[in-house]
Amino acid sequence: MEKLTDIRWYDTVESTNDEARRLIGSLDNLSVIAARCQTAGRGQGDHKWHSLPGENLTFTVVLKFGENGLAPLAARDALLITETVTLALRLYLEEKGIKIRIKWPNDIYTGDLKICGILIENILHGQDIASSIVGIGLNLNQTEFPKDLPNPVSIASLTGAHYDPAAELLSFHSVLSACAEKTNTAEGRRYLDDCFKEYVFNLPS
């Protein structure tokens, strides 16, 4: 394992979310657990996240609220976390010329193709969220996927470029940090809510 600023890289873990939960007491706000290979990555429900080792970004960001973190966040306002993360992903991908939309509740699509999935697990303290464990799987360099995945795409597939995962994670982390700061004010929270409503959609039932 190596550590760079507040990003901890592992060669292999079962789940970055599980590792973040194990270490939650020692992690600061906006700390990151990242893995070159994730052997038991999870999506929403009982879905698994497929990623070729070393090809993509599989990582977890820890957000902390209250003392020594972001402004306190009531559990009833948990959607704000999704709004923060999806805005950061949109801004990051737009820098690469990729337009996105958000499939409710937290998948990132470009057109009809899925480029990113998010798994958010919150730790409560009474009626407030103490910490949020935000798992992100972002298709970066992988261009071939299992045939049973209906609609995957990667940044490399769309741009024709190859990316260094560590550098890209640093770039995204910078964007996310700025978006997370918006949760500290009422004006910032309204902005996050407006952005989310503009880009979110539901699949037909």
- The b-or-e profile of 30-64 (16+ CB within 10 A means b, else e) is bbbbbbbbbeebbbeeeeebbbeeebbbbbbbbbb
- The Cα 92–Cα 106 span in angstroms is 16
Residue 46, pLDDT above cutoff 60 = no
pLDDT tens figures, 69-103: 999 999 999 999 999 999 999 999 999 999 999 99
Output the pLDDT for position 204.
72
pLDDT at residue 43 above 60? no
Res. 47: pLDDT tops 60 = no
pLDDT at 39: 84
pLDDT at 4: 46
- 44 vs 180, residue with greater confidence: 180
Least confident of 158-162, 180-184, 200-204: 200-204
Q: What distances in angstroms separate CA 152 from CA 8, 141, 166, 170, 172, one per listed residue?
A: 27, 12, 22, 24, 20
Phi, psi of 203 (to 5 degrees): -70, 145
Q: Tens digits of per-residue pLDDT, 150-165?
A: 799 999 999 999 999 9
Banded pLDDT at 5 (limits 50, 70, 90): low
What is residue 198's three-state secondary structure? helix
Q: How far apart are CA 112 and CA 171, in angstroms?
A: 25
Please report, rounded to a whole number, the percentage of residues in the chain having pLDDT higher than 90.
81
Architecture of the domain made up of 2-201: 2-Layer Sandwich (3.30)
Q: Find the helix or strand (DSSP H, E) in which 87 lies.
A: helix 79-94
- What percentage of the chain reaches a pLDDT higher than 70? 92
Residue 203: its pLDDT value, please?
A: 77
Strands 101-103 and 200-201: parallel
Kindly report the pTM of this predicted structure.
0.92
- In the predicted model, what is the mean pLDDT of residues 174-187? 98
Residue 122 pLDDT > 70: yes
- Is residue 136 within 8 A of residue 57, CB to CB? The reply is yes
Cα–Cα distance, 6 to 204 (Å, whole number) = 40
Please say if the pLDDT value at position 201 is more than 60.
Answer: yes
Give the confidence band of 53 by pLDDT, cuts at 50, 70, 90: confident
The alpha carbon of residue 169 and the mean position of all alpha carbons in its chain are separated, in whole angstroms, by: 11
